[in-house]
Amino acid sequence: MFGALFTLLKGVWAEPWSVSFFDLDLLTILTAYLFLSFGRIQAGAFALGQGFLIDIFSGGVHGLFAFLYLSVFCAIYLGSLFFNLQTAKGQIMIVTLAIFLKNIVFLIVLALVSDSIVFSKSFLSASAVSIIGTGLITPILVNLFNRLRDIPGREAGTPASEEL
């Protein structure tokens, strides 16, 4: 639900096809967290679903974001074979590499479907800040998500009226 909410709100404050200077990719962090906590199938389904959701609300090439977030999932899966996703250093490395791959795939696909694509210094520097910033914030958010999961709530079999 958090991923869908983020996807819907991100379109409000970002222009289509642009990268703002502090564009942190929370969907990649959520995909990595789901991969770590729930497994490959749930993380892959989340990545594909978020990609489809972005495709529905974007005016771009249909299937582009589904493909991008599936490539993010594949990068997380392959990265987890070489780095430990349970450590902060591994989380930083895997998410940074996944976002780097996502940006490279994005530029390659745009170059293939567009006749006039221009690479500007501002786009490349904003991408670099996004890649590094998202990688560095990943362990903090993973820790936050773990703490939110550990908040005691009502038990699964207990009706809400019996809690009081």
pLDDT tens string 57-75:
877 778 889 999 999 999 9
Q: Is the dihedral of CA 12, 44, 129, 86 positive or negative?
A: positive
Give SS3 for 143. Answer: helix
Cα 82 to Cα 94: distance, rounded to the nearest angstrom: 9
Q: What is the pTM of this model?
A: 0.78
Cα 35 to Cα 85: distance, rounded to the nearest angstrom: 9
Query: Amino acid identity of 108?
Result: I
What confidence category does residue 111 fall into, taking pLDDT thresholds of 50, 70 and 90?
confident
Percent of the chain with pLDDT over 70: 77
Mean of pLDDT values over 91-108? 93
Residue 28: per-residue pLDDT: 93
How many other β-carbons are positioned within 10 Å of the β-carbon of residue 11? Answer: 12
